[in-house]
Amino acid sequence: MRNPDPASTLARLVRQSLNKDAGALHVALPCRVESYNLETCRATVQPLIRTGSTDPAPIEAVPALGQRLIVDGAEKVFRPSLQRGDTVLVVIADREIKNTMSGRISTPDSGRQHDLNDAIIVGVFGWCL
C-alpha cells in the first residue's frame, strides 16, 4: 500500500475549499423583474441562473440606480422605469449597504459580504427594451 503524498492531499483540499467558496460568492447576476415600485425605485427580482437543484429564491426590495445627466446643457434626473419581465443586471455589494443609504460613511451592522440582501439593479439588458 502506498502512502499518499501530504502535499498533494493538502493541495486537493485547498482547491476544493476555494472552489466551494468561489461558488458561494455573489458578484453579479441576470435577473427578471417580478415587480417594481416607481416611488421607491425598488424591485423584486428573480435570479435567472440556477446553481442547485431548485430555482433560486426571489430577491426583494432591490434598489435600482438612477442617473443624473446633463442633457442640452441642463441637468436632468432619470429614474428607472422597470417593467415586469425586464431582464436586469444585479450587482452584489461587497458589504452590507443598508446604513449607507443616508449618503454618510457608516459601519455595517453585520459582517456579511457579497450577500444577496445587498443587491443593486444597475441596468436593463438591451435585448428586452
Q: Domain segments of the chain: what residues?
A: 26-126
- Domain 26-126 architecture: Beta Barrel (2.40)
Supply the pLDDT for residue 30. 98
- Cα–Cα distances (Å) from 69 to 45, 72, 99, in that order, read 26, 10, 26
**Tens digit of pLDDT for each residue in 5-18?**
777 777 777 776 66
117 Cβ partners below 8 Å, 6+ apart?
59, 96
From the number of C-beta atoms within 10 Å of its C-beta (0-12, 13-18, 19+), residue 24 rates as exposed
Cell reading at 123: 441596468
Supply the pLDDT for residue 1. 58
Mean pLDDT of the chain: 89
- Cα–Cα distances (Å) from 96 to 16, 63, 82, 100, 118, in that order, read 27, 13, 24, 8, 6
% of residues, the chain, pLDDT over 70: 91
Supply the pLDDT for residue 40. 96
